[in-house]
A and B are shown apart, each in its own frame.
Chain A
Amino acid sequence: MLATVLTAQPVPPADKLSAPAIDYGAIMPVLIVLGAACVGVLVEAFLPKHQRWPVQVVLSLATLAGAGIAMAVYLGDESTPKNGVITLAGTLAVDRPALFLWGTLLVLTLGALLLIADRSVEPGGAFVAEAAIRPGTIQDRAQVAGTGMQTEVFPLTLFALGGMMVFTSANDLLTMFIALEVLSLPLYLMCGLARRRRLLSQEAAVKYFLLGAFASAFFLYGLALLYGYAGSVKLADISNAAAGTDRSDALLFGGLGLLVVGLLFKASVGPFHTWTPDVYQGAPTPITAFMAACTKVAAFGGMLRVLQVGFESTSWEWRGVLWGVAIVSMVIGAVLGLTQTDVKRMIAYSSIAHAGFLLIGSIALTDQGLSGTLFYLLTYGFTTLAAFGVISLVRNADGEATHLSQWAGLAKRSPVTAAVFTFILLALAGIPLTSGFVGKFVIFSAALQDGMAPLVVIALIASAVAAFFYLRVIVLMYFSEPAADGPSVTVPGAFTTASITLGVIATLVLGVLPAFALDWAGSGTFAFQ
């Protein structure tokens, strides 16, 4: 590649620079998303306030559709290489797993975007009209009644999506780091933009920002150490360097450790999970849905690539540690989830437990492990998206009623909502005929094949414990009498309905007829170059 040419024979100063080759077809989805995000910023700048919402919604949906079509065209093209292309001077690897993750991210973002765009559940949308107004002031009370919203969330979402897509296909750690920041920064911002309970939301944003910055620093430090070890930030170079050299292992494992801490933080794997419940609870629910579904996909996508491409040869040394991390994550998620009294926090702890399961799949360094984890990400994303969609519907006068006691007897008030949420909870618990079950099956079978039987047993017990708190919600909804001043269930508008339907149908289809998605998830491995 060009990069090697450059380093191998230094060009004389008179020479012109030649730009790296770019496979535009392959990276078109990313370009579309990032380009549209910039257009969205311009829309904010030039359109009057009342026109922004419709334009932004249309623009964002068109972007997702366009990116999806671009990807379909690329996949449908006969000349597309089966084992992926590495483009832009080796910084991006567009291979099958990356394309699967891109597709997953695009569809999940579509669902989250529909929730973000909804203005019927909460009049005016879940976002504050003017974030700069201090909470609790006269102006703030005035704006609660208004119907405006900060339409900047649309371009911010697209930027985050672009960052996630790059993150999952980054072939070197530097690109990965910048993508990590690109995906994180909009999320930090959007966490603080809730219309209701603004102080809680802002606290969540600050917490997420500070801890996230800390995690980024870990990642960067690890990157620096690995560069010192291998003399390159490319994953393949690090892998080659690690295979049979006498270089200092301290640099390699110190770097890997720090790098992985940064990744585990983003994926909210315990014990690096402490931000998760607070942020999930405080952030506007559509953003929580976006984070829970898409960030997890991106983080584990990145982690899979780092572990499988960069560090497979040294797996013997680090795998034990990640075993421990997976166990801790499952136990924390399952046990602390039992004590929660807030639905959003409960789902947050459930996501920590699920992160433990995903980590099991990620450290099974086989093709089954890869395809299983990819499939699990797809299923989990849809389920959690629908879960937060439903949570946003149960409201009282103060906004969302997320306290568990307020959900008592929900089945009587709204049988459909209760049935949908029950189905989602059963999927999270991994009951057969839901996608959660198939996901668990693929991950655990990959883990068993890779000789991780004890981990599988612990995971199964953790799922049984976690099932208890899912059941508790079902018990509350169906078997308890509704409280007199309980919340009402809002009849959702078209956007939220579409989003929840998308999540539920995907959960069902992936549970009953998973073969096509499994085929797709297993259609190829990471490109190594």
Chain B
Amino acid sequence: MNTAPVVPAVTTSPSASFLLWLLLLVPLLGGIAVAFLRDAKTAKLAALGIALLEFVLVIPTWIAYDPAGSRIQLSSSMDWIPNFGVHLALGVDGISLVMIALIGLLMPIVIGSSWADKLPEGRSVGGFYALLLVMQAGMIGVFAATDVFLFYVFFEAVLVPMYFLIGRFGGPRRQYAAVKFFLYSLLGGLIMLGSVIGLYVVSGDKLGSGTLDWATLTTVISQESQATQTWLFLGFFVAFAIKAPLVPLHTWLPDAAAEAPVGVGVLLVGILDKIGTYGFLRYCLPMFPAASKDLAPLVLVLGVAGLLYGALLATGQNDMKRFVAYTSIAHFGFIAVGIFAFSSQSVSGAVLYMFNHGLSTGMLFLVVGMVIARGGSTLISDYGGMAKLTPLLGGLFLVAGLAGLSLPGTNSFVSEFLVLIGAYPSRPVFAILATIGMILAALYVLWAYQRIMHGPVRGDALLGALKGPGAVAAPETATRQGIKDLDAREIAVLTPLVVLIIVLGFYPAPILDVIGPSVEATLHSVIPLGGN
């Protein structure tokens, strides 16, 4: 290597690069402003306005991105800490663009769904929405950063609002869940910090002066020896595996998801966890191709283990939020298998799944939240026959569930199918095991649906919520004062998700087109070494 810094090929449409800064700054500054709003209604409206503005900003960003263009687009960079070669550098490729779009899409929905939430006593509404918006900025930063240091900063910074969101606004065991979440993530983050510093030092040895620019590092580090790569890979991998979460490191997710408020839970499983799988794609594969290839069997085993384990535990869950969390763990196992099968179909499928999972599981979480809002209990055994009282809610629960079990015609089916056909040629055993996971998914989703929605009206929560004469004795005919079906707000929140689930189930091309070249480029760093 010569000592001249490698010039990253990133400069298409620099004129639109301000869009990323806007995407980052709008929710950040908006969140800070919302924190100072005393009136609850104003705060909600302001937050919703900012989230919608953010969504509107995503559209020109999507248009400005040229799938046929260079690897990283809309990039911009300025010096931050020159002593470490750290830059404030933003840019997107297809994968991160899709994730940013998902954030922009989910955020108004999350705010809309939290509209009627009763916060624990004494907590300020403004604070809740401010934290949500700040977290949105952090998540966009994670996906838009093209400097490893900056990525790390956002990676850690996201923890703080999430920690407060769970700890201050969550369920009865929120303290425990918040601390567990924070400690797991922080431990992973600190191990990753070791690798980040390692990258800086190794690149310093190679180039004369260390850098943390992602594009430069991918060219420098991928040439390093196997041992160096493996150590650095492990640092990143542990952090991402905790985040994703892969199986032995997953135990924080059910607690966090169960205790988080519904809207926060959607962000947690819908977006925050994707940072892990995104990290595999963006950092592990291009920077440490040799190590990735070497350790791929390990990750595949963990992925399949998570897939089956998550499915089994989801089947056995009685708590609805934990149920959704375990289905997510299963899905993340699937995504990990797709990424580390190293074929363009499987990786494309995995990335598409990251997007679709945000929609389908996000919707499942929302629907579950609506059920809980009516019955006041999170336990499946407290419900039964609810579809008779709330047919619309029951129907949408079914839609979300079917998307979760990847029924053909829903969006998840396309992605799971791509993962399976992509993985089968090189890793047939894992592909078959993953198929078993799909079957289990049908079991747990339908069984949960059946327990909650079908049969006679029963369950303590449901009966307790019913009012009127003779409600308990004859629930079927009771006046439905206590349990109402979806109101306009809830319908408005769920409609975009239903539409997208079905549209993308038949026509996934817009997303596949965007992610395709980036996936190829990512794989290109692994495949030349012999692929599988």
Q: Interface readout for A420-435 with B: 1 if CB under 8 Å, 0 if not?
A: 0000001001111100
Given A445-B197, A518-B81, do A478 and B160 touch, yes or no (CB 8 Å)?
no
| B residues in contact with A426, CB < 8 Å | 160
From B84, B167, B231, give the contact of A441 (CB < 8 A): B84
* Nearest-Cβ distance from residue B532 to partner chain A, whole angstroms: 31
Chain A's interface: helix, strand, loop or mixed, by majority?
helix
Selected interface stretch from A125-133, A346-354, A459-467, A485-493: A459-467
- A463→B312 CA distance, assembly (Å): 35
From B190, B201, B231, give the contact of A445 (CB < 8 A): B201
- A234→B204 CA distance, assembly (Å): 36
Tell me, yes or no, whether A456 is within 8 Å of chain B by CB: yes
- A431→B186 CA distance, assembly (Å): 9
Q: Interface readout for B212-255 with A: 1 if CB under 8 Å, 0 if not?
A: 00000000000000000001000000000000000000000000
Selected interface stretch from B149-157, B352-360, B399-407, B431-439: B149-157
| B residues in contact with A197, CB < 8 Å | none
Q: Is the CB of A412 within 8 A of B122?
A: yes
Q: Interface readout for A428-465 with B: 1 if CB under 8 Å, 0 if not?
A: 01111100011011001100110001001100110110
Q: Is the CB of A467 within 8 A of B183?
A: yes
Enumerate B257-287 residues with CB–CB distance to A below 8 Å: none
Tell me, yes or no, whether B74 is within 8 Å of chain A by CB: no
How many residues from B make CB contacts under 8 Å with A? 34
From B82, B153, B168, B204, give the contact of A479 (CB < 8 A): B168
- A177→B88 CA distance, assembly (Å): 46
- A467→B191 CA distance, assembly (Å): 13
Q: Is the CB of A431 within 8 A of B83?
A: no
Q: Is the CB of B81 within 8 A of A432?
A: no
Tell me, yes or no, whether B200 is within 8 Å of chain A by CB: yes
Q: Is the CB of A431 within 8 A of B183?
A: no
- A240→B380 CA distance, assembly (Å): 78
| A residues in contact with B464, CB < 8 Å | none
Tell me, yes or no, whether B175 is within 8 Å of chain A by CB: yes
Tell me, yes or no, whether A515 is within 8 Å of chain B by CB: yes
Tell me, yes or no, whether A514 is within 8 Å of chain B by CB: yes
Q: Interface readout for A506-517 with B: 1 if CB under 8 Å, 0 if not?
A: 000000011100
Q: Is the CB of A518 within 8 A of B183?
A: no
From B159, B175, B193, give the contact of A475 (CB < 8 A): B175
Q: Is the CB of A464 within 8 A of B168?
A: no
| A residues in contact with B482, CB < 8 Å | none
Q: Is the CB of B178 within 8 A of A475?
A: yes
Q: Interface readout for A462-474 with B: 1 if CB under 8 Å, 0 if not?
A: 0110011001100
Q: Is the CB of B179 within 8 A of A471?
A: yes
* Nearest-Cβ distance from residue B114 to partner chain A, whole angstroms: 19
Tell me, yes or no, whether A222 is within 8 Å of chain B by CB: no
Q: Is the CB of B197 within 8 A of A441?
A: yes
Of all chain A residues, which has the CB nearest B79? A515
Q: Is the CB of A475 within 8 A of B167?
A: yes
- A444→B193 CA distance, assembly (Å): 9
Q: Is the CB of A449 within 8 A of B204?
A: yes
Of all chain B residues, which has the CB nearest A438? B81
Given A475-B178, A475-B179, do A429 and B186 touch, yes or no (CB 8 Å)?
yes
* Nearest-Cβ distance from residue B240 to partner chain A, whole angstroms: 16
Of all chain A residues, which has the CB nearest B152? A432
Q: Is the CB of B197 within 8 A of A431?
A: no
- A56→B283 CA distance, assembly (Å): 58
Q: Is the CB of A457 within 8 A of B194?
A: yes
Q: Is the CB of B197 within 8 A of A444?
A: yes
Of all chain B residues, which has the CB nearest A445? B197
Q: Is the CB of B182 within 8 A of A448?
A: no
| B residues in contact with A432, CB < 8 Å | 152-153, 156-157
* Nearest-Cβ distance from residue A478 to partner chain B, whole angstroms: 6
* Nearest-Cβ distance from residue B173 to partner chain A, whole angstroms: 11
Q: Interface readout for B78-93 with A: 1 if CB under 8 Å, 0 if not?
A: 0011111000000000
| B residues in contact with A515, CB < 8 Å | 80-83
Q: Is the CB of A460 within 8 A of B190?
A: yes
Tell me, yes or no, whether B164 is within 8 Å of chain A by CB: yes
- A160→B197 CA distance, assembly (Å): 37
* Nearest-Cβ distance from residue B242 to partner chain A, whole angstroms: 11
* Nearest-Cβ distance from residue B453 to partner chain A, whole angstroms: 35
Q: Is the CB of A478 within 8 A of B167?
A: yes
Question: Can you offer 9 A-B residue contacts whose CB atoms are under 8 A?
Answer: A431-B156, A456-B194, A460-B190, A471-B183, A475-B178, A478-B167, A478-B168, A479-B178, A514-B83
Given contacts A437-B153, A460-B194, 17 further A-B contacts (CB under 8 A): A426-B160, A432-B156, A433-B157, A444-B197, A448-B198, A449-B201, A460-B191, A463-B190, A468-B179, A471-B179, A472-B179, A475-B179, A478-B168, A479-B174, A514-B81, A515-B82, A518-B81
Q: Which 8 A-B pairs have the closest CB atoms?
A: A432-B153, A464-B187, A460-B190, A518-B83, A448-B201, A445-B197, A432-B156, A479-B175
